[in-house]
Amino acid sequence: MTQATPRSRRVLAAAALLPAVLLAACGGARPGGAAPDAGCCGQAVLANGLRIAERYHVGAIGSRRFTHADYWAAIAPSLASADLRTDAVGRSMLGRELRTVTFGTGPVRVLLWSQMHGDESTASMALADIFRFLAEGTGDPLRTRLHDGLTVVFLPMLNPDGAELFQRENAAGIDVNRDARRLATPEARALKSVHEGFHPDFGFNLHDQGARTRVGAAGLQSGIALLAPAYDDARSWNASRARARLVAATLAELFGHAIAGRVAKYDDTFNHRAFGDLMEQWGTSTVLIESGALPGDGDKQRLRALNVAAILGALDAIATGSYRKADPAAYERLPYNTSGASDLLVSGGSLVLPGQPPLRADVAINYEDAVARTGARIRDVGDLADAVALDTLDAAGIFIHPDSSALTRRNGGTWLRIGARAVLDLRRGPDSASALVRRIGP
Ligand SMILES: [Zn+2]
């Protein structure tokens, strides 16, 4: 193009050049160089990671529900790489093989495990893309740093029987993440034995949390929650947990560049039965990443890409040692996760029931699938002025006309039953023929 480049295009071109330069600066060994500005680098690291997520996206895994067979078939081409080693490390209750994938020859040992809760698949998707990057991205400086600095063991989809049904528990109905002490399940025993054989310096405990979790008391929906778990009831800090906090701070900064205001801190009460907490007790600096939900991301594909970018960024920071320069406050100042919100609050309207004058009533709604926001159901009706919801619809001056399918009739009364499908027409007036403003459900 010979004409003057439009400004927007120039900015994009400049941005595309930035990461390589900044990554070199961030990568540690800069003789005589001052510590680079963390803000600039975090942004560049994230941008580079997102480009990797896009370029090495494993298309065969396109939705958050997939089976053990789907998963291992999708990543098989990557696992053919001579730089990735696959080992069988046990079997699930129903006999599905549990496998680790190992990459790198470096001195620092990192263990990542995903989907010990079968319906928490975001990180498994991200690991599929990371395997493809590690297999195909030869020559990429990031891959070289990871290869030379780290030995990484991945244990994806630790609970394949739960994944088959997209349920939290394993095939015995046991929550594998409450079995780290007793080790009654083969899945928990497999993770424990991998840990004992490998002695990782760092651990990544990869989960998904409920979509109704907010950042702080009344903040936005949590896209990500992070934790450097406690190793005792007093929630003490030792060198290992302090290292984990620096990794969590690195992650907080990376995610914060993409989803500011949507990153929270997970409750750090010590859990005597949970793997993250016990890994920390066993001497591994462990971080928990909980993928929540983002508006318009019903299949968690944006969260998947953000996981790819943030996990690679954190691994790079561990490989180069740059995580030591992270500010613990970037983690500590995150507001805590808060639960209990409704998905949608229709606030300030008047409810129109057959044969009754309209009456003031707010309506709270929860979705059956809170991530995809489908299957609206009535959660509460009445004075909900103090209720907290992820979304609020201001219905002041509006009349709420429930569809007859949403109404219960008994003993001469007609009402909007809690738990009923929320099929509501919001209209300008009390008359059912008045102008429709919006329809909620089905
Ligand atoms: Zn979980």
169 Cα to the center of ligand 1, angstroms: 10
Report the pLDDT value the prediction gives residue 31, as an integer from 0 to 100. Answer: 35
Identify the bridge partners of residue 150 per DSSP, sorted by sequence position.
108
Report whether pLDDT(421) > 50. Answer: yes
- Asked if residue 5 lies in contact with residue 13, where contact means CB atoms within 8 angstroms, the answer is yes
Report whether pLDDT(36) > 70. Answer: no
d(CA 345, CA 366): 9
In 3D space, the residue among 278, 135, 301 whose CA is nearest the CA of residue 205 turns out to be 278
222 Cα to the center of ligand 1, angstroms: 15
Report the pLDDT value the prediction gives residue 267, as an integer from 0 to 100. Answer: 95
Range in 8-12, 126-130, 241-245, 434-438 the model is least confident about: 8-12
- Asked if residue 340 lies in contact with residue 387, where contact means CB atoms within 8 angstroms, the answer is no
Strands 389-394 and 342-347: parallel
Report the pLDDT value the prediction gives residue 40, as an integer from 0 to 100. Answer: 58
Q: What is the pLDDT of residues 344-377, one digit of tens each?
A: 999 999 999 998 999 999 999 999 999 999 999 9
CA geometry: angle at 69 spanning 163 and 200, to 5°? 70
295 Cα to the center of ligand 1, angstroms: 21
CATH of domain 342-440: 2.30.40.10
Report field, pTM of the whole predicted structure over 0.85: yes
416 Cα to the center of ligand 1, angstroms: 34
What are the strands, taking DSSP E only, across 63-182? Answer: 84-91, 97-103, 108-114, 150-155
How large a percentage of the chain has pLDDT more than 90? 87
191 Cα to the center of ligand 1, angstroms: 15
pLDDT category, 23, cuts 50, 70, 90?
Answer: very low
Fold identical between 36-338 and 342-440? no
Report whether pLDDT(33) > 90. Answer: no
Q: What is the pLDDT of residues 173-188, one digit of tens each?
A: 999 999 999 999 999 9
Which strands make up the sheet holding 359-360, listed edge to edge?
Answer: 359-360, 350-351, 399-402, 424-427, 436-440
**Tokens read off for 243:** 């290292």
Delimit the domains of the chain by residue range.
36-338, 342-440
Which residue has 């050049």 as its token pair?
17
What is the residue-averaged pLDDT of the chain?
91
102 Cα to the center of ligand 1, angstroms: 23
Report the pLDDT value the prediction gives residue 78, as an integer from 0 to 100. Answer: 98
Segment 290-316 mean pLDDT: 97
246 Cα to the center of ligand 1, angstroms: 22
What are the strands, taking DSSP E only, across 157-308? Answer: 202-208, 214-215, 224-227, 263-265, 285-291
Q: What is the pLDDT of residues 376-414, one digit of tens each?
A: 999 999 999 999 999 999 999 999 999 998 999 988 889
Report the pLDDT value the prediction gives residue 41, as an integer from 0 to 100. Answer: 84
Segment 97-126 mean pLDDT: 98
Report whether pLDDT(7) > 90. Answer: no
SS3 state at 322: helix
188 Cα to the center of ligand 1, angstroms: 14
d(CA 156, CA 171): 17
What are the strands, taking DSSP E only, across 184-284? Answer: 202-208, 214-215, 224-227, 263-265
117 Cα to the center of ligand 1, angstroms: 5
Other beta carbons within 10 angstroms of residue 380's beta carbon come to: 17
**Which amino acid belongs to residue 171?**
A
Report the pLDDT value the prediction gives residue 379, as an integer from 0 to 100. Answer: 96
| Domain 36-338, architecture per CATH | 3-Layer(aba) Sandwich (3.40)
In 3D space, the residue among 159, 160, 150 whose CA is nearest the CA of residue 203 turns out to be 150
377 Cα to the center of ligand 1, angstroms: 25
CA geometry: angle at 27 spanning 24 and 29, to 5°? 95
**Tokens read off for 97:** 């093989």
d(CA 149, CA 107): 6
Strands 285-291 and 224-227: antiparallel
In 3D space, the residue among 290, 318, 317, 322 whose CA is nearest the CA of residue 306 turns out to be 290
Other beta carbons within 10 angstroms of residue 75's beta carbon come to: 26
Report the pLDDT value the prediction gives residue 402, as an integer from 0 to 100. Answer: 95
162 Cα to the center of ligand 1, angstroms: 12
DSSP 336: B
In 3D space, the residue among 44, 252, 256 whose CA is nearest the CA of residue 141 turns out to be 44
SS3 state at 143: helix
Report the pLDDT value the prediction gives residue 180, as an integer from 0 to 100. Answer: 96
Which residue has 């300030």 as its token pair?
348
* Greatest Cα-to-Cα distance within the chain, rounded to the nearest angstrom: 84
Report whether pLDDT(34) > 60. Answer: no
